[in-house]
Structure 1
Amino acid sequence: MPDNVTRGHDIEPTLTAVDPADEYLNPESADSSWEGVLTGENSALQRTVDPDTQPGIDDFADRVAFVTGGSRGVGRGIVRALLRRGAIVAIADKYPEPIDLGEDADPTRLRSYQLDVSDREQYARVAAEVKRDLGEVTLLFNNAGIADSASPSRMSYQMWDHMLGVNLGGVYNGIQTFTPDMIESPRRCHIVNTASEAGLVAGGSGFLYTASKYGVVGLSESLRFELAHHGIGVSVLSPGPVATDIVENTRRLRPAEAGDHTARTGQMLDLVHEILHLHGLDPDLVGEYTVQAVESNAAYINTRNTTTELLRQRTDAIIAAMDHAQDFFETSATKV
């Protein structure tokens, strides 16, 4: 059995854990059909550990956690929940701010670092500082994000790069930076990536934001399978409205080359900000709920069920399209 299957984790794979690029794509295999590649005996899914059977994290004390966007909002709620459990926390934020830790938290177990999550070189430097200052990171919360918007008539490469660079690229940069050491760690590790309900159902959040959050969901779902045999859990947080200042923070971070918002977009963002503070959840509760999900190794972390019907409609539409395609190609094949 390959060393990297059991190193320090005592995890027994379903068959033999291999990288998805290995022999299961061999055209000489018994079942080289597309269905066989995906779900057959030699498929990657069959050859990796089932992530849903793996334990969560129950020993937070003295673990080092890295939380991006940890100075405010949901990130601050996650930080407080981790400190209550005895973790050592590194906050990474573009504009770090002092936070009220509450009476039960030990401020000596918290350190802040300035970080633009879209800057890969800075990310590597900060990660090295954290390792030197605090030790090995075994809990990663890729939480930093922005909620900007642009109408299709005013789309630009600058806005695409800005939105995707923070919301998706920032998540990937965290994974790329810390996962190699997590793979080598003798301890079980966990990653939480913050997406949004907009990453589950396209609606009124704008195409840029929606694209970035769909990407986070897909990245998280894939890595949950591909990192399971390394003893690394992966969860995706897709919250509904939370009472944060993400809209105002986003305005502050908007690149100058992107130009000003249109009056209509500005009004929409004002409305979103108001809705978040009138109807959004307490970010501390969301932070506590997120860390509890890490304890149970939950795949999905959601904060309400009001999009259930929309999700069902989307899934039904996709299945209907698949059925239509199957009928078309089966019928057409007999005529060619």
Structure 2
Amino acid sequence: MMERSMQNLPGKTAFITGGASGIGLGIAKALLGADMNVTIADIRQDHLDSATAELDGGDRVLALKLDVTDRADYARAADAAQARFGKVHVLCNNAGVAVVGPTELATFADWDWVMGVNLTGTINGIVTWLPRILAHGEGGHIVNTSSMSALVPVGGTTIYSSGKAAVAAMMECMRPELEERGVICSAFCPGAVQSNIAEAGKTRPDSLAETGYAEADKRRQAGGNFAHLYQTKEEVGQRVLQGILADELYILTHSEFLTGVRERGEAMTAAVQTQLPENPEYKATFDRLFRNPAITDEIARQNSIRATQV
């Protein structure tokens, strides 16, 4: 039977988008430290140059300039990674941008830019890499960088949280499809991390420059620097490595979100119309729609992990 987990990492190769700074660089450092080869793909050449120096991995590191919204560019980057390292086993769809503020201020360009990178960029990663990973038959692991904003969405984050919720749901759907074929899928949902996402506007294309958030961004930037409160890229990189090694469906970081996650689940549970009688025929006919076995398995997995930590 094909190995279902990717716990045997040494010598294998990872492809990480947004890999030259912040979370992506933290993941690259952790996976390189686990004796993997890493390809860091990023839209900013200056970040690629500094990340290559920081990683100091020699021939085990390949830096590629990539716009994840450009499908032809993505295919070229995938070809280059395979030409260098051969088979790629771990895909980290991590590239991301953000705008925040009142929903009524958002322009079409605000929506298109954030969704184009965060959601379409992730889709491009899946469509480009999944057939290649399945073709080599050695199994793999896909990590989508979502956010705690996907699990605890709050006002003022409509565009960002919507896209991040989509990439988390992507992993929940793909997990039961692909696990038995040797490809594990994980949703990485971090809280605040010391990263360069606040500078993402520097890579915003001119065609999508019209924004409703210019004044909101100025006020946010004038509000102070809270980076000292955030986790480091190294901390979250190690968390992703831990999640890959444990085959976790949900790779979460910050304990401060526990109440919000619990309340959201309780609110949904309370909203289910249990006072209405079930239709046995409907339930039997569409049984596969009413629960996701990957989520059931994750409950057991997390309980087992917690038991070993006591």
Alignment partner of 1:88 is 2:37 = yes
Amino acid paired to 2:131: P
TM-score between the two structures when normalised by the length of structure 2 = 0.81
- Determine which of 128, 137, 142 is the counterpart of 1:191: 142
1:227-269 superposed Cα distances (whole Å, 9 cap, x missing partner): 1121001111100111112112x12123444335332343125
Q: Distance in 2 between matches of 1:184 and 1:288?
A: 29
Cα offset for 1:315?
A: 1.9
- Corresponding position of 1:238: 189
- Corresponding position of 2:236: 286
- Corresponding position of 1:264: 216
- Corresponding position of 2:65: 114
Q: Distance in 2 between matches of 1:148 and 1:329?
A: 43
Q: Distance in 2 between matches of 1:329 and 1:225?
A: 26
- Corresponding position of 2:251: 301
Q: Distance in 1 between matches of 2:147 and 2:251?
A: 10
Q: Distance in 2 between matches of 1:329 and 1:293?
A: 37
The structure with the larger Rg is 1
Q: Distance in 2 between matches of 1:101 and 1:114?
A: 12
- Determine which of 316, 332, 336 is the counterpart of 2:266: 316
- Compared CA separation, residues 230 and 217, structure 1 to 2 (3 A): same
Cα offset for 1:104?
A: 8.9
Superposed, 1:1-336 pairs within 5 Å as 9=2, 54-55=4-5, 57-96=6-45, 97-99=48-50, 106-204=57-155, 206-248=157-199, 250-256=200-206, 257-260=208-211, 261-271=213-223, 274-275=225-226, 277-323=227-273, 326-327=275-276
Q: Distance in 1 between matches of 2:222 and 2:15?
A: 31
Q: Distance in 1 between matches of 2:146 and 2:75?
A: 23
Q: Distance in 2 between matches of 1:194 and 1:116?
A: 17
1:53-81 superposed Cα distances (whole Å, 9 cap, x missing partner): x43x2322221110111110111111111
- Compared CA separation, residues 102 and 265, structure 1 to 2 (3 A): closer
Structure 1 segments unaligned to the other structure (5+ residues) = 1-5, 11-53, 331-336
Q: Is 101-110 or 294-303 further displaced after alignment?
A: 101-110
Amino acid paired to 2:22: G
Q: Distance in 2 between matches of 1:205 and 1:84?
A: 38
Cα offset for 1:283?
A: 0.5
Q: Distance in 1 between matches of 2:238 and 2:148?
A: 19
TM-score between the two structures when normalised by the length of structure 1 = 0.75
1:266-317 superposed Cα distances (whole Å, 9 cap, x missing partner): 312554x722x12001111111121121111111111112122122222222
CA contact (8 A) 2:13 2:87 kept: yes
Cα offset for 1:89?
A: 1.1
Amino acid paired to 2:218: G
What SS class does the counterpart of residue 161 from structure 2 fall into?
helix
- Compared CA separation, residues 329 and 231, structure 1 to 2 (3 A): closer
CA contact (8 A) 1:163 1:209 kept: yes
1:96-127 superposed Cα distances (whole Å, 9 cap, x missing partner): 32246789953221111111111112111211
Q: Distance in 1 between matches of 2:260 and 2:81?
A: 42
Cα offset for 1:130?
A: 1.5
CA contact (8 A) 2:18 2:94 kept: yes
Q: Distance in 2 between matches of 1:284 and 1:101?
A: 15
Q: Distance in 2 between matches of 1:167 and 1:132?
A: 27
- Compared CA separation, residues 301 and 205, structure 1 to 2 (3 A): farther
Structure 2 segments unaligned to the other structure (5+ residues) = 280-310
What SS class does the counterpart of residue 227 from structure 1 fall into?
helix
CA contact (8 A) 1:76 1:99 kept: no
Q: Report the number of matched residues.
A: 275
Q: Distance in 2 between matches of 1:160 and 1:183?
A: 33
Q: Distance in 1 between matches of 2:61 and 2:175?
A: 28
Cα offset for 1:92?
A: 0.5
Amino acid paired to 2:110: M
CA contact (8 A) 2:20 2:51 kept: no
The alignment's C-alpha RMSD in Å is: 2.3
Cα offset for 1:152?
A: 2.2
What SS class does the counterpart of residue 224 from structure 1 fall into?
helix
